[in-house]
Homo-oligomer: A and B are copies of this chain.
Amino acid sequence: MRLLAIAGGVGGAKLALGLARLLPPDDLRIVVNTGDDETFHGLHVSPDLDTVTYTLAGLSNEEMGWGLAGESFRALEALGRLGADTWFRLGDLDLATHIRRTDLLRQGATLTEATREIASRLGVRHAVVPMSDEPVRTIALTDEGELAFQDYFVRRRCEPRIAGVRLDGAEYAAPSPAFTAALAEADAIVFCPSNPLVSVGPILALPGVRAAIEGFGGPRIGVSPIVGGTAVKGPAANMMAELGEEVSCVGVARRYAGLLDRFVIDAVDAAHADTVAQLGVRPHVANTLMTTEADKVALAREVLALAGGAA
C-alpha cells in the first residue's frame, strides 16, 4: 500500500517517523509544507523540510524540540558580531544544510532535488517531497501589519494578534512533480497532526490539490494536532483562537470537511467524537501524544489500520 503523508513541522515529522518505521521506502512519500521557507543571510531555509528530514534521519534535537542534536551556534554568534540579525537560531550543523541547499539551488537543482540529495546524504530512505519547487510565502496578517511567517512565529513569538493568513504565490505555484506523482499513485492519504492553517493549508492551496484530495478514491485519514484544546506544539491553537475558530479537534475537522474520511482524535477529546461525526468525518479515538518512538509507531499503526493497509 502506497501512502501519501501530508506534513508540516514537528508533529508531522513525528507521525512520519512512525510511518517510516512501518512502511518500506517505496510505500511512503511525505509531502511537506514550504510556505514558511525563508531566506536568512542569503541562505534558503526550509524549516519543515528539515524538521522532517532530521527526524527521519534520527538527528533531531529532542531537548530543544527543533534543529539538530548536538547543535552549536558559533557561526551565528559570529554573524551577530558582523551585524546580521540572529533572531532565527541557525546552528552550525543546521547552517551546513542551508548552505548546501542554497548552493544546489544556485547550481540549478530544484528544491525537490536538493531535498532528496540532502536527505539521502543523511541516510533518509523514504521520500521527503517539497509541496512545490516554486516559492510560496505564508504571511501572517496581524494587528501590527503583515509579517512573514517566521517573523511572526519566531521573532515576534506569535504576540501580534492574527486576523488571517495569506499564502503568497500559492495560487500559481505548481505542486512539485513528485507531489503530483504521489497523489496519482497513492492508495491512501494521511494528514499528519500539523498546523491546519500554516502547514497543511499551504499544501491544500496549491492549484489542483484540494480538488484531487476531494475526489481521491482511497481512504483519507487525518490526525488532530489539537489535543484537549491546545496544540501539542506550535502556534495552531493560538492562531485558531484569534481567528475565532473553535480550538479543538472539531475546529480542525471543520477545516478538513470534505477532505477526510477518518479523523483520529485523542482519547481526552472522546467527547467531541459525535460533533466530528456530524461534520461528515468518521472519528477514531486513540492516544495521539507521541513522546517516545514507540508512541509514534503505535499511532502510525492505528493510522495504517484505518487506511486498510498492513500494520
- A interface residues, Cβ below 8 angstroms from B: 41-43, 72, 74-79, 81-84, 92-93, 95-97, 99-100, 102-103, 106, 117-118, 121-122
Bound-complex Cα distance A255 to B190 (A): 72
A114 CB, nearest partner CB in chain B, Å: 10
- What are 24 A-B pairs at a CB distance below 8 A? A41-B103, A42-B99, A42-B103, A43-B99, A72-B72, A74-B74, A74-B92, A75-B75, A75-B93, A75-B99, A76-B96, A78-B92, A78-B95, A78-B96, A79-B99, A79-B100, A81-B96, A81-B122, A82-B118, A83-B100, A83-B117, A84-B96, A84-B100, A95-B99
- Chain B residues with Cβ under 8 A from A122's Cβ? 81-82
16 other A-B residue contacts (CB within 8 Å) besides A75-B96, A75-B99: A41-B99, A42-B106, A43-B99, A74-B74, A74-B92, A74-B93, A77-B96, A78-B96, A79-B99, A81-B121, A82-B97, A82-B100, A83-B100, A83-B121, A84-B96, A92-B92
How many angstroms from the CA of A99 to the CA of B42 in the assembled complex?
A: 8
Which residues of chain B are near A78, meaning CB under 8 Å?
A: 92-93, 95-97
Q: A74-B72, A95-B95 are in contact. Are A121 and B42 (CB under 8 A)?
A: no
Docked complex Cα distance between A191 and B251 (Å): 73
- For A106, list chain B residues within 8 Å (CB): 42
Residue on B nearest A68 in the bound complex, by CB: B78
For A72, list chain B residues within 8 Å (CB). Answer: 72, 74, 92
**Chain A interface SS verdict (over half):** helix
CB-based nearest B residue for A96: B78
**A75 contact set on B, CB distance < 8 A:** 75, 92-93, 95-96, 99
Give CA–CA (A92, B90) in the complex, Å. Answer: 12
Determine the chain B residues whose CB is within 8 A of the CB of A83 once the complex forms.
Answer: 100, 117, 121
Q: CB-CB < 8 A to A118: which residues of B?
A: 82
Report how far A102 CA is from B43 CA in the complex, Å.
10
Q: Which B residue sits closest to A42, measured CB to CB?
A: B103
By Cβ-Cβ distance, the 3 closest A-B pairs, closest first, are A78-B96, A42-B103, A74-B92
Q: In chain B, what residue has the closest Cβ to A99?
A: B41
For the complex, what is the distance from the CA of A84 to the CA of B99, rounded to whole Å? 10
Give Cα A92–Cα B75 distance, bound, in whole angstroms.
Answer: 5
Q: With the chains together, A79 CA to B74 CA distance in Å?
A: 15
A75 to chain B, nearest CB (A): 4
Cα A38 to Cα B81 with chains together (Å): 23
Residues of B within 8 A of A97 (CB): 78, 82
Q: How far is the CB of A26 from chain B (nearest CB, A)?
A: 23
In the complex formed, the residue of B with least CB distance to A72 is: B74
What is the CA–CA distance of A99 and B79 in the complex, to the nearest angstrom? 8
